[in-house]
Structure 1
Amino acid sequence: MERECSIEFQETKQHGSRLFPFNIYPCTIPLDFPSVSLHWHNEMELIYVKKGTGTVQMETESFKGKAGDIFVVPPGTLHALQKSKGFSMEYENIIFEIGFLGAGAADLCAGEFLVPLAAGKLLPAVCLSPEDIGYEAVKKCLAQMEDLCRSREKGYELGVKAAVLQMLFLLIRKYPYIKEVSSPDRERLKEVLQEITEKTGENLTVSYMAEFCGFSCSHFMRWFKKMTGVSFTAYVNERKLAAAAEKLRQTEDKILAVSQETGFLNLSNFNRQFKKRYGVTPREYREMIGI
């Protein structure tokens, strides 16, 4: 299994193959990457914490993830991951397209369950912990997916699909009420975060984004803090630092160039902010990951 994680706001990467869009990615924060910024995608995702602790945000609610927790992230759900100070968190990303389960079929299961699930209207974003009723049955499904993807024996794809469908049955039975999460504010937030992503290296101001939303500056700042839990300035700075960390991992560009490309015009300020956020300087970070 490969390691693959994106910092883009709307993730569009093909997970697995075109004919079998399912994959499991083992990840560690902060060894693989310092954090995963708020983003969304059309696939369903399960975040299965194996060791350590970290913070998992789903929509506007944050959870302290611990070993054993299973976070259910339906399609279209805004989510992010952060390390807890002094701790690391090892987890598995289990990501799949709903279509591979048969969402295009003209039958009751597709119409009543899979199509609404793909639209984000069937299951709420939830954290399932070891002490919760039904946890062991869901965990067994995840273990089956892991074992099958590891062995890749003939027909393993059928087994994976069966395990996913069984897991969905268990979750729908446990959370039987459709939770409508779409709202004008949520859709506007997606547009705002996409604009921030596309202009990460630019000097984005509150006045620019307020005008983008049709808000006054004071209303925009209150609204953004309410929707994300952090101030606009703090979020933009986090995005810039995440983009810088990605460039430090993926390129051999000079640190000065990385700072300028991600919107930090002063190298000493970039070094100071990077160390404050990730505990090491950009140079130490590169040495730590072997670049």
Structure 2
Amino acid sequence: MQEIHVDLSEYSKHQHPFHHLFDQGLDTYIVRLQIEGFCQALVDGEIRDIKPGDLLLFKPGDIYDLRIGYGQETFTQSGDYYVMSNGPGMKEWWEMKPRPTLTKIAEDTRLQAVWRQIILEKRRLDGGNPAVVTALAWSLLLLIDRAIEEAPEDQSPAAYHALRMRQYIEEHAAGELTLADVAHHTGLSVSRAVYLFKQHFGTSIIRYTQQLRLAHAMKLMDHSLLSLEQIASETGLGSYAYFHRLFRERYGISPGAYRNKK
């Protein structure tokens, strides 16, 4: 894993108009994710509107033109995560495959959590441990790659609602989770949420949640000494009786028999 030098990484909140221009070309890589509000940026030679969920990627030599508060009758604050970096690791990641300058990705709290860890590490008085910064930066870049790969081709609001629901379920499946929770996360009615999820992923919210919980339970049976009752509780399946029924339906064997075979 080649080293990545993070020069600066922050969450930037702009409450006043702002213009950032490198018309002679950047000397760094910039990764920027719009979180709130609205701005404009130069993308492939054209000034484009940038909205929440828009991910921007720039390399050394690119002209960088970021405009906040332009083209708005009434100014609204803008917030974004960004990282400015260099180093052999950054060059390696950039050259792995082509990526668009602008991609709309679904809200991903895991990606943002890693970004916050980079920010906190760089705020240390010593500037952060280079090995830790490199590991965190690689984690961020790989999560970004996955977000780009999972970005819906049709770029429709419905597709992004479905993807946000899936991410929410993956993050919360081990706890108590209801259809109302999933729908509320995307601001949809329960019936609309259920329909969109099934339309885009070919399975129901409940079935997908069960599959995640059963996969988690199987890993715990393989690698932990927790009792089956504890595993049922830890994975969000609740009672052992429910866990037993779902596991047998999916794998054709009881949890106890499966564990005894290991």
- The TM-score with structure 2 as length reference comes to 0.43
- The TM-score with structure 1 as length reference comes to 0.39
The structure with the largest alpha-carbon Rg is 2
